[in-house]
Amino acid sequence: MAMATHEHRVVLFHACLLLLLAFGLGPSVAADRSTYIVHMDKSVMPKDFAAPSHWYSSTLKSVTTTLMSTNSGAVTGDEPHLLYTYDHAVHGFSAVLSKEELQALEKSPGFVSAHLDVTGKMDTTHTYRFLSLNDVSGLWPASKYGEDVIVGVIDTGIWPESECFNDLGMTEIPARWNGTCDGAGTDFDPSLCNRKLIGARYFNKGAITHLPPGTRVSNTTRDAVGHGTHTSSTVAGNYVPGASFFGYAEGTSRGIAPRARVAMYKVISEGGVYTSDVIAGIDQAIADGVDVISISMGFDGVPLYEDPIAVAGFHAMAKGVFLSSSAGNEGPELNTLHNGIPWTLTVGASSVDRDFAGQLTLGNGETIFGWSLFPANALINDYPLIYNETIKTCNTTDLPSNSIVLCEMSEYLSVFEQIEFIAESPVAGAILVSNDSFLFEAGDLPCPATVISPKEGERVITYAKNDVAPTASIKFQQTVLGTTPAPAVSSYTSRGPSPSYRGILKPDLVAPGTRILAGWSPISGAAELGSNIVLSSDFNLISGTSMACPHAAGVAALLKGAHPDWTPAAIRSAMMTTSSQVDNTLSPIKDVGNNYEAATPLAMGAGHVDPNRALDPGLVYDAGPQDYVNLLCALNYTSNQISAIVGSSNYSCSSPSLDLNYPSFIVFSNSSSTVQRFRRTVTNVGDGGATTYKVTVNHPSTFKLIVSPGTLVFREKFEKRSFVVSVADSERRHGKVAYGSIMWTDGGNHTVRSPVVIV
CA atoms within 13 A on the CB side of 46: 9
Among 430, 478, 467, which residue's Cα sits nearest to residue 11?
A: 478
Strand-pair partners of 583: none
Residue 132's SS3 state is coil
Under a CB-based contact definition with an 8 Å cutoff, are residues 253 and 166 in contact? no
In angstroms, the CA 558 to CA 468 distance is 61
Specify the DSSP element, H or E, that contains 98. strand 92-98
- How crowded is the C-beta side of 388, counted as CA atoms within 13 Å? 8
Cα–Cα distance for residue pair 649/723, rounded to 1 Å: 33
Q: What is the DSSP string of 299-341?
A: -SS--GGG-HHHHHHHHHHHTT-EEEEE--S-TTSSS--S---
Region at 246 (left for phi over 0; alpha for psi -120 to 50; beta for the rest)? left
Catalytic site positions: 155, 227, 546
C-beta separation of 672 from 728 below 8 A: no
Assign 3-class secondary structure to 473-501. Answer: EEEEEEEEECCCCCCEECCCCCCCCCCCC
The full length of the chain comes to 759
Q: Which long-range contacts (CB under 8 A, 24 or more apart) does 214-217 make?
A: 215/270, 215/271, 216/270, 217/269, 217/270, 217/271
Q: What angle do CA 152, 153, 158 make, to 5 degrees?
A: 120
Cα angle 542, 547, 551; round to 5? 140
DSSP 171: -
For residue 411, the tally of other CB atoms under 10 A from its CB is: 6
| Residues 250, 241: Cα–Cα separation, whole Å | 9
Contacts 24+ apart (CB under 8 A), 690-693: 690/714, 690/715, 690/716, 691/618, 691/746, 691/748, 692/746, 692/747, 693/618, 693/619, 693/744, 693/745, 693/746, 693/750, 693/752
Q: What is the sign of the dihedral through the CA atoms of 606, 608, 609 and 613?
A: negative
Helices (H), 96-212: 99-105, 127-130, 139-143, 205-208
Q: Which amino acid is at 471?
A: T
Return the bridge partners of 450, or none. Answer: 431
